[in-house]
Structure 1
Amino acid sequence: MDDSKAIEVNDGIYWVGFSDENAGFSNNPYLLIEGESVVLFDPGSRLPEHFEIVKKKIESVIPIEKITMIVVHHQDPDLCASIPLFEEIIGVNNFELIATMRTSLLLPYYGIRTEITTVEDGDILELDNGREIMFITSPYLHFAGAHVSYDMKTKTMFSSDIFAAFSADWNLYANENYTEAMRIFHEPYIAHKSAIDSFANKIKDIELKMICPQHGSVIKEESISRCMEALLSFEVGSWLI
């Protein structure tokens, strides 16, 4: 596998991330291309050594200037601090920036100047050729204003920190050891099991064929039920005393 370039993980969906060996986890921005619609999910850190990797991988499939939309699933710097660097290339307000209302309140603190389009639970965005993205709120996983995105064409969920993992032994696709790597991530980062149960109930009738988390590995269809069972079993809030 040549991970020096973008890797297409599903129809029009590219992984443009990298494994950060120093941090012990991967950072996973994703690019979705459908006709003239080019969507970048959670573009990542502004550290030069991080931004240049993501930039180079995007440019291996499409010019940065072609990006029409950036989706931010929550406000952490490891997934959205680079947006001002993208603004320098694309131009302020030359793309649509999407977040929930609570996330939108914090994004300007990174120096982001593009106007933010806020979305609510169940909102659907139509891209070129009728391809649709649905936005699903995921409160307290791990931010009050967090959300995920669901590509209705490929049944792919961009799940942000949900289904994410810490792992020094990283693979692009989840393997048999992935649920343990998920546990190491979720048990300290998620405060209460009710947040997981609420989200699981919300998506129980949604068909999933792929999950693309912000950290960790891409989860293919054959591994989804195993990862969901593991998620529901975790003893989260493990740092509470």
Structure 2
Amino acid sequence: MAVEVLHEEKDHTFFWLGKDESGLEEGVQANQYLIVDGGQGLLIDPGGFGVFSRVLVNLSHHIDPQSIRDIFLCHQDPDVGGSLASWFEMTPACVHVSELWIRFLLHYGVNDVHRFRGIPDGGGSLTFPSGRKVDFIPAHFLHSPGNFHLFDHSSGILFTGDIGAAVYPKGQTPTFVTNFEEHVRYMEGFHGRYIPTNQVIQAWLARVRKLPVRMIVPQHGSIFREESVGKFFEWIGGIRCGLETMNL
């Protein structure tokens, strides 16, 4: 599927980088995103090795890979950054990730630890040369113990990693949520099993509800916009998950 422009203004564009329609990509469906600001790129969760070629081709229509100066990883999983060694070869980018995971990510075949920028537990930010800014929002234990989301102030887009993930049958994932009540059934299983307790959801909601969020873009599943943003916050705030649902 072609790249989708989620937000565009002067010198600042937020892209969704499409998805596989060939049936060749294996594993869990995953979304990749790109911000281009003043000709400089920030790649968000570039994905595993199996999606590298598709992401590179789609991205190259909009920016020279050598202009990607930053990569953001929400956490350490291979579907988030398993292709990192290839991106190190194709770009000069620095990688922003929880400081917990830098030594772990070396196991992906990355040989230049100096290109990592560890995000402290309290979060951080990245400012483009234009002065526009993205924030790294703490989202620990959702589901990784070192986890961050990304908020783009210019677009109002909140990237939430695995939060908001929906697992549809292969090839049936819609790009945008159109029927929230129907969409819930594709989110319930993941959130109920992978989030340890609703307490961490409440801590996260206390942060993100202060932000002017216009759109939520998760790593898996469909994109939330318009009224589905508020519906999602209400839904996830009320779920039971992890230890609250298991008999241990």
Task: Indicate whether the TM-score tops 0.5.
Answer: yes
Distance verdict in 2 for CA 1:155–1:170, change over 3 Å: same
User: Secondary structure of 1:26's partner?
Assistant: coil
User: Secondary structure of 2:85's partner?
Assistant: helix
Q: CA deviation at 1:175?
A: 2.0
Other-structure match for 1:6: 3
User: Secondary structure of 2:49's partner?
Assistant: coil
C-alpha separation between the residues in 2 aligned to 1:231 and 1:80?
26
Structure 1 gap segments, 5+ residues each: none
- Structure 1: 4+ residue segments shifted above 6 A: 20-24
Other-structure match for 1:107: 105
Q: CA deviation at 1:184?
A: 2.4
Q: CA deviation at 1:40?
A: 0.1
C-alpha separation between the residues in 2 aligned to 1:55 and 1:28?
13
TM-score by length of 2: 0.87
TM-score by length of 1: 0.90
Structure 2 gap segments, 5+ residues each: none
Other-structure match for 2:124: 123
Is the CA contact 1:7–1:16 (under 8 Å) kept in the aligned structure 2?
yes
Deviates more, 1:79-88 or 1:96-105: 96-105
Is the CA contact 1:42–1:72 (under 8 Å) kept in the aligned structure 2?
yes
Distance verdict in 2 for CA 1:60–1:103, change over 3 Å: same
Note if 1:215 corresponds to 2:212: no
Other-structure match for 1:182: 187
C-alpha separation between the residues in 2 aligned to 1:102 and 1:17?
30
Is the CA contact 1:51–1:82 (under 8 Å) kept in the aligned structure 2?
yes
Is the CA contact 1:166–1:182 (under 8 Å) kept in the aligned structure 2?
yes
Q: What is the aligned length? A: 233
Note if 1:202 corresponds to 2:207: yes
C-alpha separation between the residues in 2 aligned to 1:240 and 1:211?
33
Aligned-residue RMSD, C-alpha: 1.9
C-alpha separation between the residues in 1 aligned to 2:65 and 2:90?
7
Note if 1:80 corresponds to 2:78: no
